Structure 1
Amino acid sequence: MSEIDDASGGFAERYGSRAEGVWSAPGRVNLIGEHTDYNDGFVLPFAIDRRTAVALGDRDDRVIRVASTIESDAAEVALDALTPDAVDGWAAYPLGVAWAPGEFGAGLSGVGGVDLAIASTVPIGAGLSSSAAIVCAVALALDEHWRLGFDRPTLAKVGRLAENRAAGAPTGIMDQMAALSGEAEHAVFLDCRRLEADLVPLGFEAAGLSLLVIDTRVAHEHAANGYAERRASCEAGARTLGVESLREVRVDDLPRAQALLDDESFRRVRHVVTENRRVLDTVRALREHGPSAIGPFLDASHASLRDDFEVSVPELDLAVATAQANGAIGARMTGGGFGGAAIALMIDPLVPVVAREVAAAFAEQGYREPTVFTVRPSEGARRDL
């Protein structure tokens, strides 16, 4: 059973009727470019072959109901009473999406209520953006059903606003753009200031490479204090340097930044500035030399996230070091940090070797057994049924 079947079957079981359609959106792996999106920088994610599906059915009133195979509790609210403060818990994500289009000029007074049923194969809390998969699937479904006519960058903004305001997660725009813009065998090179997305061929399959995800199963929350503190530190650093965002700071500017900032603030700024550079270098390497050439940038990204941005945890560091010691081309933590997953790029025959060695290393340290699986660059949000 796929998430498409689960959503369709869950709808029929919950509401006693057949859904009018099913839409889905993928999780994403961020190949490189961490904590750069909310600094107007560059990122290089790709959509993965694990998805969240939403089945939708029409109603004859203005109530929206949402149920999920992930959570036992359902939620409902009248559209006329729907505000960011009127929803909480997991339902804040889909219900926030129903509220957010009005903030972008959509006239919602004439739309009808809907029933929604959600199912997912995107791991929760692994740094693979299960939340963006939810909001983007719902956004695409409501856009089509309500005939809003939004383009995909606008739908990404709808999803981001729902996460920021309704769910209280201070995310940037990367996750939503990756979920909406992805294509098979490509990464999405995203300029987060201009919201311009360029597809970059990855060439993993042709090069005999796999990307292994090592989910440490250490739970994290993007809305937690650590994430918000890092964002506030970046904004304060930009103000001190007299720029609108850290996007405008170059590697050559770092000596000046070091003279103006305290040590912690400088290290936060240095991560963002050098990470932007690494994204550009990775894109260039992919286009000119192929995926086997990007390993040093992945390794350097993890070191920067660990030492300068300080968002790694011992389990992530162990996963990365073990993958590197067993032949990975490159490895790094992915996602916001404080838990979640690491990724490792390697030749196909090494996948079982690295998986086995990581499990053994975790057991030796007394850590919870990680979940290890490969992902393929896949298609973005779409209608399935």
Structure 2
Amino acid sequence: MQHVVVIGAGQAGASCVAKLRNSGFDGKLTLIGAEPCPPYQRPPLSKGYLLGEMTLERLFLRPESFYSDQNITLKTNCHVTAIDPSAQTIATTEGEIAYDELVLTTGSTPRRLPASIGGTLDGVFTVRDLADVDAMAPRFVKGAKVLIVGGGYIGLEAAAVAAKLGLEVTLVEMADRILQRVAAPETSDYFRALHTRHGVTLRESTGLDRLIGKDHVTGARLSDGSEIAADFVITGVGIEPDTALASAAGLEVDNGIKVDAQGRSSTPYIWAAGDCTSFPYRDGRIRLESVPNAIDQAECVAENILGAGKDYIAKPWFWSDQYDVKLQIAGLNSGYDHVVSRRGPDSASFWYYSGDRLLAVDAMNDPRGYMVGKRLIEAGKSPDPKMVSDTETDLKSLLKA
């Protein structure tokens, strides 16, 4: 093995090259990113960075010097246009590059509003990368009117920052409730109350008919026929795996680049990790959009390139910061049939069960509930729901049961 090339300089790509070097790989190593800066953290973009509490350099996953110090060729502002699996080469805007092993960590792309309803008007933004946030930051002026389309975590985090900076915030969600796709009604109710207390206008069961404006957005017509004014718009209507390169090269795609348990794609010498992949999980396949998954799967792929033969066992967990509330999620709640609530004076947690089996926990300002729930789920233990809901129960005692 002479040359490992990694396409995609996000969390997964950076984790993969670092793990390769740390595991003793001393061959040629190239990391290619389309953005003009080194790999950086994305979660703080719409929070600390947008609020002005975090500088650009603090976003970087590692100092710029790390890559040269580790003899990693980091190509920024470089776009890969094609992969030729038979020749084991890739075409880039800087020329052709040959590889012995190739890793795709291309991540995901945000869904955008169609041009037919005003999605390409000036003043319409998504929240995905540094350029997105830098472009919208000057609009965050006290008193400005912002419309947020989509009541998932991205939309709610953007609403929290905007409200904190004194903007007039309206959020529309076409489903019956915010977070409907990802959380139980109890969690939706918690965050609805939180945002309402901070002055955000939430309009659930209300879709966007179209944006209004000639060149720049000035407002929106909603599905109920009403119109609202808006100085700018943020859309948070989901993301899709970036599989364009993989598909064009003939790799199998199934809600992401299809990989086996060790991260191999359907094509020899090509691996994939992070948001862009779907991989075996329990009795089916899954795609996870999270920083922990990007890190863990990428490191597993790095080890397997070096011959470890190690299956990736996902341990899903997620987080979201809104105002002074830290939400931590352990497990996956799909298939739940009832929710057990545990509430404290300044915290709450909601425990998802399918029959007697604990599936997931949503913990708001409840780090102990999150950590205990995470350990229980990973150990395959399911505590008695009555003990969970009883605030007199010492949660740590559930681990010994």
Report the TM range for the smaller structure's normalisation.
Answer: under 0.3
Question: Normalising by structure 2, what TM-score?
Answer: 0.25
With normalisation by structure 1, the TM-score equals 0.26
Structure scoring higher RCO (CA < 8 A, sep ≥ 6) equals 1
Q: Which has the higher helix share?
A: 1
**Between Structure 1 and Structure 2, whose CA radius of gyration is higher?**
2
Higher relative strand content: 2
